[in-house]
Amino acid sequence: MSRKLVTLDDFTIDQTRQFPKATGQLSSLLRDIGLACKIINKQVNKAGLVDIIGQFGATNIQGEEQMKLDVYADETLINVLKRSEDCAGIASEENDDFVAFDDEYSHNSKYVVLFDPLDGSSNIDVNAPIGTIFVIYKRVTPLGQAVTAEDFLQDGSKLMAAGYVIYGSSTMLVYATRLGVNGFTLEPSIGEFCLSHPNMQVKENGKIYSLNQGNTCKFETATQQFLDYCMEDNKDEGRPYSHRYIGSMVADLHRTLIKGGIFLYPADKKNKNGKLRLMYECNPMAFIIEAAGGMASTGTERVLDVNPTELHQRVPIYIGSKNMVQQALSYIVE
């Protein structure tokens, strides 16, 4: 029996048809993001050739500067989105401030995109998975002018869509809207993302915990207690749990989405807001995991309810299978 290949485009156009008033701009914006990620993917695949083509960030044999992969990813996304008719501006983990696209088309575009162009960059050298994380908001300022900070500093609960691309043993784009979460694997021979993981759901219970356990000496009591719980010998309740930590949020969350579990980057004695960025890492992942039936908290509130005050704000995060997140939160005394 032959199965019909559903490309990312087919899929989003189909989703748009479910809303008679939809203009299709969101699908075409997603197509543009997909295109940028395919370009980044090509460059990521060359990362192992550094001995031949020169280290990223260094000067190569022809005397040309090799662009660092995160800078390359950032510029690729900006260039593609600048040309997109549907994007009015971007904000990126790599840039201090947002960029409002200043042309007539962009002034009339409805959406802004925020992204972490390359997540897990310390994993490039060891050929472990890295990723790109993105989130799409509808602008709140009127059409016909350049977007402002107000368009970017919106609560996560207002976002329209979020996703990530994982550059792993295969390249996958996972995309979430309020209709659910779907995964698309890049089929290299046709250069298209094809639906491979429809309607992704995160398990209510998991058996894997994921955090940088090397930071134990800095952890607050609540994190220590949760760790003790995960490591406790309790056969009836299926513990000890397994510990897995790749060090790329995209890769750790991709596993969590597929196998269940919890990922946490909590506040510690030194870093009261944890490490990860609200706008580029925590909000998009919280939206995806919630859309798949999971949970995401800062320890004191739902991640998506945090009212952002600045673009590069950091928040602690507990995210994944509902019951595991609730268990971790149960040790936090306000």
What residues between 77 and 96 interact with Mn ion by CB under 5 A? 93
Nearest distance in Å: CB 140, ligand AHG: 27
Q: Which residue has the tokens 């698309």?
A: 184
Query: Which one of Mn ion, ligand AHG, none interacts with residue 112, CB within 5 to 8 A by kind?
Result: none
35: left (phi over 0), alpha (psi -120 to 50) or beta: alpha
Task: Please check whether residue 66 is in contact with residue 46, taking contact to mean a CB–CB distance below 8 angstroms.
Answer: no
CA distances for 127 relative to 131, 167, 258, 265, angstroms: 12, 10, 21, 23
Residues 41-70 that bind Mn ion (CB under 5 A): none
Nearer to ligand AHG, 15 or 248 (CB): 248
From first CA to last CA, the distance across the chain in angstroms is 57
Strand spans (E) along 27-159: 87-92, 99-100, 111-119, 130-138
Q: Does 132 bind ligand AHG (CB under 6 A)?
A: no
CB of 67 to ligand AHG, least distance (A): 16
Instruction: Determine, following the binding rule CB under 5 A, whether residue 119 of this chain makes contact with Mn ion.
Output: yes
Q: Is there binding between residue 244 and ligand AHG (CB under 6 A)?
A: no
Q: Is residue 212 involved in binding ligand AHG (CB under 6 A)?
A: yes
Q: CA 182, CA 199: separation in Å to the nearest integer?
A: 5
Q: Which does 290 bind (CB under 5 to 8 A by kind): Mn ion, ligand AHG, none?
A: none
Residues in a beta bridge with 130: 167
Query: What sign results for the dihedral spanned by CA atoms 27, 173, 78, 161?
Result: positive
Residue 74 interacting with Mn ion (CB under 5 A): no
Indicate the DSSP class of residue 100.
E
> Which lies closer to ligand AHG via its Cβ, residue 93 or residue 290?
93
Q: List C-alpha distances in Å: 3 to 189, 195, 198.
A: 17, 11, 14
Q: Which of Mn ion, ligand AHG, none binds 82 (CB below 5-8 Å, type-dependent)? A: none
The region of 4-12, 35-43, 82-90, 243-251 touching ligand AHG under the rule CB under 6 A is 243-251
To the nearest whole angstrom, how small is the minimum distance from the Cβ of residue 66 to ligand AHG?
Answer: 18
- Look at residue 247 and give the partner it binds from Mn ion, ligand AHG, none, a contact being a CB closer than 5 to 8 Å depending on partner kind: ligand AHG
- Please report, for residues 138, 300, 310, the alpha-carbon distance to residue 304 in angstroms, rounded to integers and kept in the order given: 16, 12, 15
In the complex, which residue's CB is closest to Mn ion? 119
**Binding Mn ion by CB under 5 A: which of 32, 116, 268, 290?**
116
Name the token pair of 85: 């008719």
Q: Is 252 in the site for Mn ion (CB under 5 A)?
A: no
Nearer to ligand AHG, 12 or 248 (CB): 248
94-123 positions binding ligand AHG, by CB under 6 A: 116, 119-121
Count of residues that bind ligand AHG according to CB under 6 A:
10
Is residue 205 within 8 Å of residue 256, measured between CB atoms?
Answer: no
Residues that bind Mn ion (CB under 5 A): 93, 116, 118-119
Residues that bind ligand AHG (CB under 6 A): 93, 116, 119-121, 212, 247-249, 275
